[in-house]
Structure 1
């Protein structure tokens, strides 16, 4: 295990993280094979690569790796890639530097800057290590998820176990990074290093308003995963109107509970969410193919402004 990876895992646990998986990249297929293996792990919500810009990796290979990780998260639609920039001056074009060119993939990826200095986890008497902050930042996500919920933005939160930053951002640099969806880490008097941003890389596109916020992206991912898991029983039921009614009622009950807890916003349930699972999106030909579609809209930022997503289940064919 490299010291960079070691420090990232240490930062994950120090900041509130729990169970994690380490996936080595080996063999001729490399990262592509590793990401294929991760597809079978439904509980994964965050994917990071602390060694992305290690000294033994050339820039083109690092960009390809970052692009593959972001693409994987977009294709799975239930996890987010936590990336980082090289430990140099912040670039002008973040998406190009990271190799995440797809607009769809940028919705499922975020990045942090600058790097941090930490104590060597294996030798407290050694010189500090300079490492990317993503393991520590991901740990903060887990801490906020536990304390407040996945709908809360993981920002204005302190990083534990950090000795200092490698670069003190100016306000102008911060604004430039913020506009490209990079989350800054900054020192403030009396507070130490804080995460000062919660955006996805989609924030670089002004038309991607609903996909620009990290907490919104992760909340939708969490909802999709929860609803998919809770409707797996439908796989063994005949795909007919009775099944559609049952699924619609169950998802409505689940979202009503979230609205009452304040996760979804709106003065009424109608302003907070909607669920469509009937003949309009499940015509007879879909039922005969054994496909059940549930279309969902949720208000996470403003009432009646719905972020939409779809959950699919393969079911018994209707008669």
Structure 2
């Protein structure tokens, strides 16, 4: 109230209610990786965090899918090359190479040429599973090599962004294993030590392989370290999806077109078709890779349809390529699941026992016995399983952070709920910085936080039959502060919350009773 000097009537308005705490967003993932382009109407978006809310927006700003190519190699040649690189015996190397298709009495494999860029198809998997608003950080194009420094720089870009709550890096799976682990450690440090307000969703390197044979789980646990494990979760195995369709592929996805033509002609020549039909089909096979095309030649789209219809081997090769491209790491799909569960139930609901869309099956089938070591281990690094159940499809069957043995932070929903509460209250309390450190300010802050926590409790976010059982807010001289704290400019508030934990293990006891009638 000011000092009055002129006679008159003065109106003074007083606030009747304290400021309110606004719940921050909990499901805003940030994806880091390589895209076809990165521009907005001529303005470069390279190494910038750009917010999108749909796949059409992603395509508008970052382009389409990568033109992934595979080379057709006879299995004996592929085995010899593998033996030369690894020092293995040719026979052992041949046994380790799995055939993709057969032609005549020979078996062939499709070998990836160049890098595998996962981001585009991972974004499709994200939106298929309930994804919404998110950030994309493009660190390069499809002509660039996938490098750890560039992806690491993408993490640093997020230092300037406050909204993202999750970090997902699908393209990390294309790095060498030591670089992949180092990048994941950088993501853990970013989430748990630098920002402390976001959660990393990690993939297991080589997670499409059997854990017993490849040792991928053991390597992941051994190399990841122990820092900030409660700010991340990992999922195993990879997923066989239906993201890539047959119509998205053609002979352009095969790098050695001459070998494809050779195999297709051999198939046609060995068939029971009449000579006229053979000549006609061989003429179409000869058009593969020819540019520019004459007026009498079919377009690539029509040629692909013709070859699919008349050449079983061609159809088989395209199907094999589709299966390879549809093998995706699960992190992006899980980011979509987090978003869907947060929007429908709340961040305090564990993102588990939820089916995955656009997923045919996990790459590896896991039994109850195999999941025991994944879920509960002496090392504490719990890895969440994705499993298939008869009549239910593919379900997320784990809800633990990597800090699986911590009673405080072993569950994903507990850590993410606490992040939401901390960030919401922190941002609301900034309004009281430099306010007088007196009882009126303490009462206002306590009332503001209590009102917010009451609303969370009513929605099921906190455990307890009454608000007093669910939380407590303490502030004041002699309660949370000493006179010295006030002299030092400290205003200390203590908030206790009872977070709800999932019923991970349900035990039902049966016992016989005596007959009563």
Superposed pair shares fold, TM > 0.5: yes
Q: In the comparison of the two structures, how many residue pairs are matched?
A: 294
SS in 2 for 1:276: strand
* Residue matched to 2:493: 294
- Structure 1 residues 175 and 33: CA distance shift in structure 2, 3 A: same
Residue 78 (structure 1) aligned with residue 204 (structure 2): no
Provide the C-alpha distance between the structure 2 equivalents of 1:174 and 1:121, rounded to a whole number of angstroms.
29
Task: Say what the alpha-carbon RMSD is for the aligned residues.
Answer: 2.3
Which residue among 152, 169, 172 is the counterpart of 1:49?
169
For residues 163 and 414 of structure 2, what CA distance do their matches in structure 1 show? Answer: 19
Q: Deviations over 1:261-303 (max 9, x none)?
A: 322111222211111222343444444554433321111137x
1:270 matches 2:473: no
Matched residues in 1 for 2:438 and 2:221: separation? 45
Distance 2:247 2:483 in 1: 66
Q: Confirm or deny: 8 A CA contact 1:264 1:299 kept in the other structure.
A: yes
Q: Partners in 2 of 1:183 and 1:146 — Cα distance?
A: 22
Distance 1:263 1:28 in 2: 39
1:117 aligns with 2:232: no
Q: Which residue of 2 aligns with 1:101?
A: 226
After superposition, the Cα gap between the structure-2 partners of 1:70 and 1:266, relative to the gap in structure 1 and judged at 3 Å, is: same
Cα distance change on mapping 1:124 and 1:162 into 2, 3 Å: farther
The equivalent position to 2:374 in structure 1, one of 167, 177, 183, is 177
Deviation at 1:211, TM superposition (A): 0.6
Structure 2 segments unaligned to the other structure (5+ residues)? 1-34, 36-65, 67-116, 141-146, 212-216, 250-321, 502-517
Q: Is the 8 A contact 2:124 2:243 kept in 1?
A: no
Instruction: Give the drift of 1:234.
Output: 1.1
**CA offsets per residue over residues 112-155 of structure 1, 9 Å max, x none?**
01001223558744313211011111101100111110000111
Equivalent in the alignment of 1:89: 210
Report the alpha carbon displacement of residue 229 of structure 1 after superposing the two structures with TM: 1.9
- 1:15 paired residue among 110, 129, 150: 129
Match of residue 398 from structure 2: 197
SS of aligned partner of 1:238: coil
Normalised by the length of structure 1, the TM-score is 0.84
Distance apart, 1:224 and its partner CA: 0.9
Q: Is contact 2:181–2:220 with CA below 8 Å preserved after alignment?
A: no
**What's 1:257 paired with?**
455
Q: Return the alpha-carbon distance in structure 2 between the equivalents of residues 248 and 95 of structure 1.
A: 43
Alpha-carbon contact 1:107-1:217 (below 8 Å) kept = yes
In the alignment, what sits opposite 2:426? 228
The alpha carbon displacement at 1:253 in A equals 1.1
Establish whether residue 281 from structure 1 lines up as the match of residue 480 from structure 2. Answer: yes
C-alpha contact (below 8 Å) 1:174/1:184 kept by paired residues: yes
- Rounded Cα–Cα distance in structure 1 between residues aligned with 2:132 and 2:423: 19
Gaps of 5+ in 1: 303-319
Distance 2:436 2:245 in 1: 57
Give the deviation of 1:30 after TM superposition: 3.9
Quote the residue 1:68 is aligned against.
Answer: 186
Larger RCO (CA under 8 A, 6+ residues apart): 2
CA distance in structure 1 between the aligned counterparts of 2:328 and 2:148, rounded to whole angstroms: 27
- In structure 2, how many angstroms separate the alpha carbons of the residues matched to 1:195 and 1:68? 26
The 5-angstrom pairing of residues 203-242 of structure 1 reads 203=404, 205=405, 208-242=406-440
